[in-house]
Amino acid sequence: DSGVTQTPKHLITATGQRVTLRCSPRSGDLSVYWYQQSLDQGLQFLIQYYNGEERAKGNILERFSAQQFPDLHSELNLSSLELGDSALYFCASSGLQEVRYTFGSGTRLTVV
Amino acid sequence: AQRVTQPEKLLSVFKGAPVELKCNYSYSGSPELFWYVQYSRQRLQLLLRHISRESIKGFTADLNKGETSFHLKKPFAQEEDSAMYYCAHPDQAGTALIFGKGTTLSVSS
């Protein structure tokens, strides 16, 4: 157990639907990062939150959004889902001003 | 733009053979570089970071600023080394890690 918890582990949904992925960071870590892993694109950085505030944005689609709550857990919301959104979504956390990540086990999203 | 390039998508070697997984980066300044390993599409685990100059599971990596490379090496590959390997460095703002597309290492007996 890395200390970063992601739920659910697997999600199957239909095109056009909306899903929410959840991440609880390792105890003491204030930063949460979301990544999308697909076979052709590798690991793509989506977004980072630090202590509740958005810190950096990567290749995140407008249909996707995220937030970090006061208890530091984060949620990634994916809406109007398309087949191409099928991927592994990883969350990682790190301490203050550090990019040494601890990754969660990921959520495997399948859009049918 | 910052970029991490891993030119090989797949590297297949026999057990006991030397392994070199290539990584080149484009970054202005002195980057902090990392290698992460992912077994069977599970979570990524930190393998090495260049500032610690340590050897993990027999792997080493040397930063070559002249060639802007951070190749991962192991003298004798083991079957349990079969995994996906990602090279990464922080973006220019230092806020997020940028990963290469990964190299799958396959070690067979």
Closest CA to A97 of A18, A30, A20, A6: A30
SS3 B44: strand
B102 close contact with A: CB closer than 8 A: yes
Partnered with residue A54 across adjacent β-strands are: A49
Kind and range of the H or E element at A74? strand A74-78
Select from A79, A87, A88 the least CA-distant residue to A14. Answer: A79
**If you average pLDDT over every residue of chain B, what do you get?**
90
**Interchain pair A101, B43: CB under 8 A:** no
**Is A106 in contact with B42 (Cβ distance < 8 A)?**
yes
Contact A89, A8 (CB under 8 A): no
From the list B34, B45, B86, which residue is nearest A43 (CB)?
B86
Instruction: Please give the backbone phi and psi of residue A83, each rounded to the nearest 5 degrees, phi first.
Output: -55, -35
The reported pLDDT for the residue numbered B1 is 67
pLDDT in tens, B18-73: 999 999 998 777 778 999 999 987 899 999 888 777 778 899 998 888 889 999 99
Which residues in chain A land under pLDDT 70?
A: 1, 97, 99
Q: What is the pLDDT of residue A59?
A: 85
Structure tokens at A72: 């530091």
A49 touches chain B (CB under 8 A): no
CB-CB under 8 Å, B98 with A45: yes
Task: Identify which of A2, A55, A90 has the shortest CB distance to residue B95.
Answer: A55
Q: Does A25 touch chain B (CB under 8 A)?
A: no
Q: What is the pLDDT of residue B42?
A: 86
What is the per-residue pLDDT for B102?
A: 94
**What is the model's pLDDT at position A97?**
63
- How far is A75 from A37, CA to CA, in rounded Å? 17
- Which of A36, A43, A90, A105 would you mutate first to test chain B, the one with the most B CBs within 10 A? A43
E strands in chain B: 3-5, 10-14, 19-21, 24-26, 34-38, 44-49, 60-64, 69-74, 83-90, 97-99, 103-108
- For the CA atoms of chain B, what is the radius of gyration? 13
Task: Spell out the residues 6+ positions from residue A2 whose beta carbon is closer than 8 angstroms to its own.
Answer: A26, A102, A103, A104, A105, B43, B45
Distance from CA of A14 to the nearest CA of B (A): 23
Residue A104 in contact with partner chain B when CB distance is under 8 A: yes
A100: closest CA among A34, A46, A29, A51? A29
Q: How far is B95 from chain A (nearest CA, A)?
A: 7
* Three-state SS at B21: strand
pLDDT in tens, B65-93: 888 999 999 999 999 999 999 999 988 77
Residues of chain A found within 8 Å of residue B100, distances taken between Cβ atoms: 42
Task: Let me know if B25 is exposed, middle or buried by CB neighbors in 10 A (0-12, 13-18, 19+).
Answer: buried
Tally A–B CB contacts below 8 A.
58
